[in-house]
């Protein structure tokens, strides 16, 4: 080999090493299924100077991880919209968004407004919406045609044939079924504690109706498909999957309104790849990428007509569940004030101790 070719080879190798060394890493802290491999590969092909590293988590773990590091270790997180305000006030784990870097025109106005309203602190916005879904009821309408509200899970005609999960959602749903507004009660924590005590009494009384308290989507699905239960509290996505197997099993928005979560994009306080984070946000909200994401998550993108971008089977389940009136009646989770989660946790422990849940 001539010295000229040798030098050229050395130079090319050096350039490749330099290019690899300069690659930026985008560290995502997100939910399971929110970073499908197909989408990561597509993003890295579009932005070959960015490598995506994913850590799957949930709301509680996201807050704990970011709190432990003061907002370091990750470049983009995806907490739900009600889990940002209080942690930011208490721990300062996020940084304000540069809204000029985000294509908010692609986002549904109702979801964008809900998130920005919940996450604006001293005039700065800390999150924008990504995907949304609801918690409500699921019933086999051939066996339980009258289920329409949270309280129906405790109806004597379904004794031993219903289920629920002992987490904060059932506390909130039961409060609404009792004619209360738990989110309004957040303003006075003494009043909220009184409400929680009454909710606990109601759910303890309901024990005879409960076949079993479900822990995850798999055990809930097994009980519904086997006919062990005819109705349950549920995530809508679980009901949508079962609808594809048995069209008598449908998601039912409670008459008081389905409880609605919105998972967001938020940048941790000590994130080191803001530019890559904004690129990811805009990328996954593009229509062709929403289809990939929604097929993975089963949730609806926070864009206009997001349900139309679901796979056909999930789209049919959504259309069977929601009317326009149900959409207008959604109850968005409110910001959780400091101390409320501890109160709710103690209430749930009280119910578990009394019911063996």
Q: What is the pLDDT of residues 325-339, one digit of tens each?
A: 998 899 999 988 888
Provide the sign of the torsion angle of the four alpha carbons 165, 171, 172, 178, taken in this order.
positive
What pLDDT is stored for residue 3 in this prediction?
41
CA distances from 241 to 65, 235, 237, 316, 347 (A): 31, 11, 6, 11, 31
Per-residue H/E/C for 40-108? HHHHHHHCCCEEEEEEECCHHHHHHHHHHHCCCCCCEECCEHHHCHHHHHHHCCEECCCHHHCCHHHCC
**What letters, b where the CB count within 10 A reaches 16 and e where it falls short, cover 149-166?**
bbbbbbbeebeebbbbbb
Per-residue pLDDT at 13 exceeds 80: no
Per-residue pLDDT at 26 exceeds 80: yes
Read off the pLDDT of each residue in 50-54 and give the average, rounded to a whole number.
Answer: 98
- Asked whether the beta carbons of 89 and 121 are under 8 A apart, the reply is yes
Q: What φ, ψ does residue 144 adopt, rounded to 5°? A: -140, 70
- Please give the domain boundaries of the chain with CATH numbers for all domains: 23-128+262-303 (3.40.190.10), 133-259+331-355 (3.40.190.10)
Q: The pTM is what?
A: 0.81
Per-residue pLDDT at 5 exceeds 80: no
- Asked whether the beta carbons of 253 and 239 are under 8 A apart, the reply is no
Structure tokens at 185: 């009660």
Structure tokens at 95: 């940084």
d(CA 223, CA 218): 9
What pLDDT is stored for residue 313 in this prediction?
81
What pLDDT is stored for residue 22 in this prediction?
62
Read off the pLDDT of each residue in 315-334 and give the average, rounded to a whole number.
Answer: 89
Query: Helices H, strands E: what count in the chain?
Result: 15, 15
Read off the pLDDT of each residue in 85-95 and give the average, rounded to a whole number.
Answer: 95
Structure tokens at 212: 């079993």
d(CA 19, CA 39): 23
- Asked whether the beta carbons of 85 and 264 are under 8 A apart, the reply is no
d(CA 351, CA 264): 31
Per-residue pLDDT at 323 exceeds 90: no
Question: Which of 81, 22, 27 lies closest to 268, judged by CA?
Answer: 27
> Parallel, antiparallel, or unpaired: how do β-strands 249-252 and 259-265 relate?
unpaired
Residues present in the chain in total: 357
Average pLDDT, rounded, for the chain? 92
Least confident of 88-92, 99-103, 268-272, 317-321: 317-321
Per-residue pLDDT at 316 exceeds 80: yes
Q: How many CB atoms lie within 10 A of CB 37?
A: 10
Per-residue pLDDT at 8 exceeds 50: no
What pLDDT is stored for residue 6 in this prediction?
42
How far is the first Cα of the chain from the last one, in angstroms, to the nearest whole number?
Answer: 76
Read off the pLDDT of each residue in 142-170 and give the average, rounded to a whole number.
Answer: 97
pLDDT interval class at 1 (50, 70, 90): very low
d(CA 344, CA 235): 19
Percentage with pLDDT > 90 across the chain? 80
């Amino acid at each position: 080999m001539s010295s000229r070719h040798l030098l050229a080879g050395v130079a090319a190798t050096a350039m490749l090493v330099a290019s690899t060394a300069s690659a930026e890493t985008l560290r995502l802290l997100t939910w399971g299924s929110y970073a499908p491999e197909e989408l990561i590969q597509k993003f890295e092909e579009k932005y070959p100077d960015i490598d995506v590293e994913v850590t799957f988590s949930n709301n509680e773990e996201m807050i704990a991880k970011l709190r432990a590091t003061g907002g370091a270790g990750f470049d983009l997180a995806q907490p739900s919209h009600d889990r940002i305000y209080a942690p930011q006030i208490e721990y300062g784990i996020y940084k304000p968004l540069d809204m000029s870097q985000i294509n908010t025109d692609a986002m549904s106005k109702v979801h964008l407004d809900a998130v920005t309203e919940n996450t604006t602190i001293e005039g700065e916005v800390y999150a924008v919406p990504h995907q949304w879904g609801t918690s409500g009821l699921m019933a086999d309408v051939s066996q339980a045609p009258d289920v329409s509200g949270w309280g129906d899970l405790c109806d004597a005609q379904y004794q031993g044939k219903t289920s629920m999960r002992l987490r904060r959602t059932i506390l909130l749903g039961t409060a609404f079924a009792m004619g209360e507004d738990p989110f309004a009660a957040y303003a006075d924590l003494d009043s909220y504690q009184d409400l929680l005590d009454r909710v606990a009494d109601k759910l303890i009384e309901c024990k005879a109706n409960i076949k079993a308290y479900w822990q995850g989507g798999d055990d809930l699905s097994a009980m519904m498909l086997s006919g062990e239960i005819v109705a349950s509290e549920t995530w809508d996505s679980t009901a949508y999957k079962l609808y594809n197997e048995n069209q008598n099993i449908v998601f039912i928005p409670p008459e008081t309104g389905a409880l609605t979560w919105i998972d967001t994009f938020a940048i941790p306080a000590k994130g080191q790849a803001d530019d890559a984070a904004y690129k990811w946000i805009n990328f996954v909200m593009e229509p062709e990428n929403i289809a990939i994401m929604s097929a993975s998550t089963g949730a609806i993108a926070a864009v206009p007509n997001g349900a139309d971008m679901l796979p056909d089977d999930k789209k049919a389940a959504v259309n069977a569940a929601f009317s326009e009136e149900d959409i207008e009646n959604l109850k968005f989770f409110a910001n959780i004030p400091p101390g409320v989660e501890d109160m709710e946790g103690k209430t749930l422990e009280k119910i578990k101790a009394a019911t063996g849940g």
